[in-house]
Amino acid sequence: MNEIILQGKILNQNKSGLVSLTDIWKISGKDKNCRPSEWLRQNATQDYIGVLALKVGDTLLLSSTKGRAGKTFAHWKIALSYASYLDPLLHDDILDIYARYKANDKTLATEIYEKSAPENKKWIEQRQKGISARNNQTDALKDHGVHTCDRLYVISLPSNT
């Protein structure tokens, strides 16, 4: 499970991979009126959860434990929505990154790579080598008249006529 860091602090995830809204709230430093339970009661929040439920089907969206150490956990999209609600600057950062992604900003990939853990960088490098090797192989096949047709390899032979 990947760690999620918000303002230098680790956000807990439960065994289902849901993110702790309670941790987000505590890190934000907002008052009790902004607790996850208060935010979840809002009509706009309920509407969003309903839309998300239609999109993701049987995926678990929310989970909570009661008591003094109780926490509310949510699907990552709900967690991002909650973080945006708590902090308008975070909301703007999320929108900027999404806009860069949609605009095919090539520098975004570089930034992600530079911030990656060493083991992730190694995986990315291996993946890039594999892609390059595959492209070289398929280019060589094309140069020799081999192409695919619905996953079947077809060899075009020159005609003798």
For 95-149, how does the pLDDT look when each residue is reduced to its tens digit (9 = 90+)? 787 788 888 888 888 887 887 788 888 888 898 899 999 888 888 888 887 776 6
* Token couple for 18: 């849901």
Mean per-residue pLDDT for 75-85?
A: 92
pTM > 0.75: no
Q: Is the pLDDT of residue 161 over 60?
A: no
Alpha carbon of residue 78 to chain centroid:
12
Mean per-residue pLDDT for 59-76?
A: 89
> Which range is most confident: 35-39, 68-72, 126-130?
35-39
The Cα 93–Cα 91 span in angstroms is 5
User: Exposed e or buried b for every residue in 18-29, given b needs 16+ CB within 10 A?
Assistant: bbbbbbbbebbe
Q: Domain 4-88 has what CATH class?
A: alpha beta
Question: How does DSSP assign 81-142, residue by residue?
Answer: HHHHHH-HHHHHHHHHHHHHHHTT-HHHHHHHHHHS-HHHHHHHHHHHHHHHHHHHHHHHHH
The SS3 assignment for 61 reads: coil
Degrees to nearest 5, angle at CA 36 with 35 and 39: 90
Q: Is the pLDDT of residue 28 over 70?
A: yes
The Cα 89–Cα 71 span in angstroms is 25
